Amino acid sequence: MASISNNQESINKVQKILNKNDRISSLSDPLLIHILSFLPTKYAVGTSILSLRWKCLWASVPTLDFDSKLWFELNSDVRLSSNFLNFVERVLFNHDLSCIQKFRLYCIERKEHKLSRICTWIGVAIQRGVQELDIRIGVTEEQNYLPSSLFTCPTLVVLKLGLLVCFSVPRSVHFKTLKVLHISLGLSSNELTRNLFRNCPVLEDLIIKGDIPCNERLFFDVSTPALKSFKFDIDTDDGEDV
Q: What is the pLDDT of residue 17?
A: 43
- The predicted pLDDT at position 123 comes to 93
Question: How far apart, in Å, are the Cα atoms of 40 and each of 33, 169, 228, 240?
Answer: 13, 30, 31, 37
How many Cα atoms sit within 13 Å of 192 on the Cβ side? 23
Letter string b/e over residues 20-29, b meaning 16 or more CB atoms within 10 A of that residue's CB:
eeeeeeeeee
Q: Identify the CA nearest to 164 among candidates 191, 148, 184.
A: 184
Supply the pLDDT for residue 37. Answer: 92
What per-residue confidence (pLDDT) applies to 11?
A: 43
Instruction: Note the pLDDT of residue 170.
Output: 79
Cβ contact 205:180 at 8 Å: yes
For the chain, what are the domain ranges? 34-236
Give the pLDDT confidence score for residue 202 in this predicted structure: 94
Tell me which amino acid residue 160 is.
K
pLDDT at 20: 52
Cα-based distances in Å from 177 to 24, 57, 107: 37, 30, 26
In this prediction, the residues of the chain whose per-residue pLDDT falls under 50 are: 3-4, 7, 10-11, 14-15, 17-18
